[in-house]
């Protein structure tokens, strides 16, 4: 038997586009001699469909897609993920299902058993778990169908669940396992995923074909990296990251095994490529083409500008330099040099006059109060207004350039530098932004060296440096990581050797600035715990305040 993996980029709710893409893949698999082609989890609708699943019409369109695929299942079997109506009154209205199509019709379905409800996942909101498991018989082979999380409770050791679907299927003596996944990217996930697939294969002694989504859906990025693992526990093949691919495998060769074929997984390479895909798909799937951003001469906007130019093409990126009376000459020079290096359109709009007009208008109401954060924020909001005006006038989408460190502690201005339709580096700590800039310059100085080496500054008052208001980023980022990704308490972090006063100051800043994060743009997720849909905190909580 020859088995094809179709690693494709689906679009949520684009039934016609998703179906067309799969029908083309079926034809490609046939030309490769495949007897069976497998698509990923909820491929008909795209993942995650979220509350679209509550619309009856949405489910009917998904069912229509399955029926159209069934018609194409002649001379080849098709396995595809799609929602299924629950025919009984009890429980949720839907199942998350893997369909097995052959001979022009639906032959069998296997519903997903383990429904993740943590971080970005909310599947138990919509789906009923499976309560029966049957292998599929086809061309003399027995196939164990599983859906994504179903392989993440190996030997019933995951405390989140009480059943292990493969423990129910393996006694039926399957010849191989098919897993249909929508596994979102983080820079650690690829290695974790391989470990999990290998652990299943080693436990059950049969090969696994693991099919993953590829593509971005707003903040979520799916990296592909689909896998074929032989019974000897070695990776027979690993599909490319961040791109579509269809490959066919001879089952007998996979069973024989004996080869290891993993790709390198360097952190900055993965993050760089993930962010490019995230930007590209956000624009493409929403029907936009051009981006705009403010270019300050600092590291954050420089990195975003490079990513945007690489993702969309330099002709589709416009950068705006908006110097004030506090901007240094080298920042203006550095920003201009970067724009010239990238080949992007750039404009210079000084804001001193705009700022002074605000100050004059507010002067009678500020009652001769000394210069403070109010005047700093006026500058940020003046820049935000200019960028949004250009965005509205020309239909360019504003990219936000805030990093995770600043967003975490509230070092940003609502309706100012926190404006934007998409937060590109909001899941990168400041130290990671510097590392990404170095990675971008590995083949030559694209980002001017001075941008990378000078002390970070918002340049909103004379001689300002970030370190005036914040701890050094090396220390700050370590504490933030322990709290946000590690979910350690203040005392836990202190006991790890961090200064108690600093820890309590930093964590208080994180928690009292939750209101800002609730109003920011979607953040492209590259870590295991990003701000946004995967981190749900109360705004008015007292904890550590």
Q: For residue range 100-131, what is the model confidence (pLDDT) as tens digits?
A: 999 999 999 999 999 999 999 999 999 999 99
Question: Is 289 found in the same domain as 258?
Answer: no
Number of domains in the chain: 2
Q: Decide if 527 is inside a domain.
A: no
d(CA 409, CA 389): 28
Q: What is the mean pLDDT of residues 30-34?
A: 98
**Residues 213-268 pLDDT 10s:** 999 999 999 999 999 999 999 999 999 999 999 999 999 999 999 888 888 899 99
**Residues 295-327 pLDDT 10s:** 999 999 999 999 999 999 999 999 999 998 887
Q: What range does the domain containing 440 cover?
A: 278-466
Question: Is 335 found in the same domain as 252?
Answer: no
Question: Is 233 found in the same domain as 311?
Answer: no
Residue 505: what are its φ and ψ, rounded to 5°? Answer: -65, -45
d(CA 38, CA 505): 51
pLDDT at 467: 75
| Residue 74, both tokens | 């002649």
Q: What is the mean pLDDT of residues 438-449?
A: 96
**Residues 378-389 pLDDT 10s:** 999 999 999 999
Instruction: Give Rg (Cα) of the chain.
Output: 26
Residue 318: DSSP 8-state? E
Within 10 A of 344 (CB to CB), how many other CB atoms are there?
23
Of 294-303, 367-376, 389-398, 428-437, the one with minimum mean pLDDT is 367-376
Q: Decide if 303 is inside a domain.
A: yes
Q: Decide if 172 is inside a domain.
A: yes
Question: Is 293 found in the same domain as 240?
Answer: no
How does DSSP assign 157-196, residue by residue?
--TT-S--HHHHHGGG--SEEEEE---B--TTHHHHHHHH
Paired strand residues for 292: 318, 398
- Does residue 141 have an active-site annotation? no
Helix ranges, 318-417 (H): 329-342, 352-366, 373-394, 404-409
d(CA 114, CA 252): 30
- Does residue 38 have an active-site annotation? no
Indicate which residue of 38, 123, 128, 148 is catalytic. Answer: 148
Indicate which residue of 112, 404, 430, 529 is catalytic. Answer: 112
Question: Is 251 found in the same domain as 351?
Answer: no
Q: Decide if 484 is inside a domain.
A: no
459: pLDDT confidence band, cut at 50, 70 and 90?
low
- Residue whose pair of structure tokens reads 């690693």 in the numeric block: 7
Q: Decide if 150 is inside a domain.
A: yes
Q: What is the mean pLDDT of residues 328-338?
A: 88
Q: What is the CATH number of the domain that holds 122?
A: 3.60.110.10
Q: Which of 466, 489, 518 finishes a domain? A: 466
Question: Is 287 found in the same domain as 168?
Answer: no
Query: Which residue would you say has higher pLDDT here, 368 or 525?
Result: 525
Question: Is 289 found in the same domain as 256?
Answer: no
| Residue 388, both tokens | 């949004």
Q: What is the mean pLDDT of residues 176-185?
A: 98
Question: Is 202 found in the same domain as 105?
Answer: yes
Indicate which residue of 21, 41, 285, 406 is catalytic. Answer: 41
Of 166-170, 244-248, 327-331, 523-527, the one with minimum mean pLDDT is 327-331
Distances (CA, A) of 336 to 297, 318, 332: 8, 12, 6
pLDDT at 361: 95
- Residue whose pair of structure tokens reads 């820890």 in the numeric block: 503
Instruction: Give the total residue count for the chain.
Output: 545
- Does residue 164 have an active-site annotation? no
Burial class (CB in 10 A: 0-12, 13-18, 19+), 226: buried
pLDDT at 462: 76
Burial class (CB in 10 A: 0-12, 13-18, 19+), 346: middle
CB 398 within 8 A of CB 420: yes
User: What integer best gives the mean pLDDT of the chain?
Assistant: 95
Q: What is the mean pLDDT of residues 18-26?
A: 98
Question: Is 284 found in the same domain as 260?
Answer: no
Which contacts (CB < 8 Å, 24+ apart) does range 443-448 have?
445/341, 446/306, 446/338, 446/341, 446/342, 447/299, 447/302, 447/303, 447/306, 447/338, 447/341, 448/302, 448/334, 448/337, 448/338, 448/341
47: pLDDT confidence band, cut at 50, 70 and 90?
very high
Q: What is the CATH number of the domain that holds 288?
A: 3.40.50.620
pLDDT at 90: 84
397: pLDDT confidence band, cut at 50, 70 and 90?
very high
pLDDT at 163: 93
| Three-state DSSP state, 148 | helix
| Three-state DSSP state, 47 | coil
Burial class (CB in 10 A: 0-12, 13-18, 19+), 255: middle
Distances (CA, A) of 12 to 160, 212, 258, 264, 323: 28, 15, 39, 30, 41
Q: Which of 466, 486, 502 finishes a domain? A: 466
Question: Is 347 found in the same domain as 247?
Answer: no
| Residue 147, both tokens | 């859906």
Q: What is the mean pLDDT of residues 521-528?
A: 97
Q: Decide if 509 is inside a domain.
A: no
pTM summary value: 0.95
Question: Is 436 found in the same domain as 461?
Answer: yes
Distances (CA, A) of 284 to 30, 216, 246, 270, 343: 29, 10, 22, 21, 22
CB 133 within 8 A of CB 113: yes
**Is the pLDDT at 545 greater than 60, yes or no?**
no
Distances (CA, A) of 370 to 366, 375, 481: 9, 9, 36
290: pLDDT confidence band, cut at 50, 70 and 90?
very high
Which contacts (CB < 8 Å, 24+ apart) does range 65-71 have?
65/15, 65/18, 65/19, 66/99, 66/101, 66/106, 67/106, 68/19, 68/23, 69/19, 69/22, 69/23, 69/26, 69/44, 69/99, 69/101, 70/101, 70/104, 70/105, 70/106, 71/104
Question: Is 346 found in the same domain as 283?
Answer: yes
pLDDT at 232: 95
Q: Decide if 508 is inside a domain.
A: no
Of 35-39, 234-238, 460-464, 529-533, the one with minimum mean pLDDT is 460-464
Among 388, 378, 480, smallest CA distance to 426 is for: 480
d(CA 85, CA 126): 11
Largest CA distance in the chain: 86
Q: Decide if 45 is inside a domain.
A: yes
Q: Which of 208, 235, 265 finishes a domain? A: 265
């Amino acid at each position: 038997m020859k088995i094809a993996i179709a690693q494709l980029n689906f679009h949520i709710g684009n039934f016609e586009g998703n179906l067309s893409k799969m029908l083309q893949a079926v034809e490609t698999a046939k030309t490769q001699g495949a007897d069976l082609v497998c698509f990923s989890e909820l491929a008909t609708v795209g993942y995650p469909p979220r509350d679209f699943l509550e619309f009856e019409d949405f489910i009917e369109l998904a069912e229509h897609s399955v029926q159209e695929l069934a018609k194409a299942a002649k001379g080849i079997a098709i396995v595809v993920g799609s929602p299924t109506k629950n025919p009984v009154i009890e429980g949720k209205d839907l199942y998350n299902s893997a369909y097995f199509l052959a001979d022009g019709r639906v032959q069998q379905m296997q519903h997903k058993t383990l429904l993740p409800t943590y971080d970005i996942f909310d599947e138990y909101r919509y789906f009923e778990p499976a309560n029966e498991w049957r292998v599929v018989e086809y061309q003399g082979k027995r196939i164990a169908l599983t859906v994504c999380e179903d392989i993440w409770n190996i030997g019933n050791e995951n405390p989140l669940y009480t059943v292990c679907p493969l423990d129910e299927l393996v006694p039926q003596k399957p010849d191989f396992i098919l897993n249909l996944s929508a596994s979102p990217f983080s820079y650690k996930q690829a290695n974790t995923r391989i470990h999990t697939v290998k652990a299943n294969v080693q436990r059950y002694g049969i090969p696994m074909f693991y099919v993953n989504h590829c593509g971005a859906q707003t903040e979520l990025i799916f990296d592909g990296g689909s896998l074929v693992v032989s019974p000897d526990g070695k990776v027979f093949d690993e599909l490319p990251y961040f791109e579509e691919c269809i490959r066919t495998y001879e089952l007998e060769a996979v069973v024989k095994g004996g080869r290891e074929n993993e790709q390198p997984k360097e952190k900055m390479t993965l993050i760089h490529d993930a962010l490019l895909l995230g930007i590209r798909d956000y624009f493409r799937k929403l029907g936009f083409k051009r981006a705009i951003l403010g270019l300050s001469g600092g590291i954050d906007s420089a990195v975003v500008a490079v990513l945007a130019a690489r993702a969309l093409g330099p002709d589709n990126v416009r950068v705006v330099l908006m110097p004030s009376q506090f901007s240094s000459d080298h920042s203006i020079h550095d920003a201009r040099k970067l724009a010239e290096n990238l080949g992007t359109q750039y404009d210079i709009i000084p804001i001193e006059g705009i700022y002074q007009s605000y100050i004059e208008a507010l002067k009678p109401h500020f009652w001769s109060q000394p210069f403070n954060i109010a005047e700093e924020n006026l500058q940020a909001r003046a820049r935000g207004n200019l960028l949004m005006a250009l965005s509205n006038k020309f239909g360019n989408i504003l990219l936000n350039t805030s990093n995770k460190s600043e967003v975490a502690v509230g070092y940003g201005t609502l309706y100012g530098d926190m404006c934007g339709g998409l937060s590109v580096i909001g899941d990168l700590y400041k130290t990671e932004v510097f590392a990404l800039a170095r990675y971008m310059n590995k083949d030559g100085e694209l980002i001017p060296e001075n941008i990378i080496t000078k002390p970070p500054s918002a340049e909103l008052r004379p001689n300002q440096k970030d370190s005036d208001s914040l701890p050094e980023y090396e220390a700050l980022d370590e504490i933030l990581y322990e709290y946000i990704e590690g979910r350690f308490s203040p005392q836990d972090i202190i006991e790890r050797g961090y200064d108690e006063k600093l820890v309590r100051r930093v964590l208080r800043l994180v928690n009292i600035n939750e209101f800002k994060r609730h109003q920011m743009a979607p953040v492209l997720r590259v870590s295991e715990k990003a701000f946004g849909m995967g981190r749900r905190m109360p705004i008015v909580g007292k904890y550590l305040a």
